[in-house]
Amino acid sequence: QVLLVESGGGLVQAGGSLRLSCAASGGTFSRAAMGWFRQAPGKEREFVAAITWAPSAWGSLGTRYADSVKGRCTISRDNAKNTVSLEMNALKPEDTAVYYCAARLPSTSGMLYLRTNEYGFWGQGAQVTVSS
C-alpha cells in the first residue's frame, strides 16, 4: 500500500498563493506517477496537475496542467523525500475545493495520467478556501 498525506491547505485571499505538499510512504515513490485533483462542493472531482516519475528526463512533457490552472500552478516532486508539491499562485475563488494527492504505481516512464480512475492511491484531501 501507498499512504498519502496532504498538508498546506487553508484560507487565502484571492490573488494570494498557497503551497500544498503530499508525503508518501510505502511503495516505490520514485517510480510512481503523481497527480493532484480537486473537488468543489456539488461538483465532480477534476484533474489539476500531473507529473511523471522522472520529470527531469522529459522536460515540459513531464508535467501536465488543467487549462483552468495552467500558468498559475506548478507541480514538483522530490523523490529523495518522497514528496510531491503543488504551488498555486494568483488564486481565485473558483479554486476553492478539497485538493487530493494521488499516486499510480506502477507507472510507465514518461506517462501522465489525467483521470481519477487511473490512480490507485489517494490522500485524505486538504481544504483550500479562496476568499474574494
pLDDT tens-digit profile of 64-88? 999 999 999 999 999 999 999 999 9
Q: Give long-range contacts, CB 8 A cutoff, 24+ apart: 59-62.
A: 61/110, 62/110, 62/112
pLDDT of residue 28: 86
Is the model's pLDDT at 54 over the cut of 90?
no
Instruction: Note the Cα 90 to chain centre separation in Å.
Output: 17
Which cell is 103 given?
499516486
Is the model's pLDDT at 7 over the cut of 90?
yes
